[in-house]
Amino acid sequence: GESVGLHLPTLSVQEGDNSIINCAYSNSASDYFIWYKQESGKGPQFIIDIRSNMDKRQGQRVTVLLNKTVKHLSLQIAATQPGDSAVYFCAENMDSNYQLIWGAGTKLIIKP
């Protein structure tokens, strides 16, 4: 769950295509996971969450998939739009713990 340095992984996607952002989480005891979107100069914005008793959850244009076997989380964004350009973070939490542990972040770039 430790974040890496200044060089964020980057994903470039054509406008209108689907985007898939991946995250490996660190703690097998984590039971709650969240995706956040952070635009430049702003705080993180909640996108979607999922508890460990589920493996898929859908929102508006977004889907989160959870694979507990390999400790992997993904965020799928359908029909990517220019407004989706941002850094996306996954975060994990355990019920017994009040802090979120954040992943490294992925910068999503939309190509016109």
Partner 1 sequence: DAGVTQSPTHLIKTRGQQVTLRCSPKSGHDTVSWYQQALGQGPQFIFQYYEEEERQRGNFPDRFSGHQFPNYSSELNVNALLLGDSALYLCASSGQTNEKLFFGSGTQLSVL
Give the footprint of partner 1 on this chain (CB under 8 A). Answer: 3-8, 32, 34, 36, 41-46, 49, 89, 91, 93, 97-105
Cβ nearer to partner 1, comparing 14 with 26? 26
- 111 vs 11: CA distance, rounded Å: 10
- 8 Å CB contact between 104 and 13: no
Q: Report the nearest approach of partner 1 to the CB of residue 55 (Å).
A: 18
The residue behind tokens 């990517």 is 80
Strand partners, 36: 46, 89
Q: Report the nearest approach of partner 1 to the CB of residue 18 (Å).
A: 24
Q: Report the nearest approach of partner 1 to the CB of residue 105 (Å).
A: 6
Closest CA to 71 of 30, 100, 34, 35: 30
Cβ nearer to partner 1, comparing 40 with 69? 40
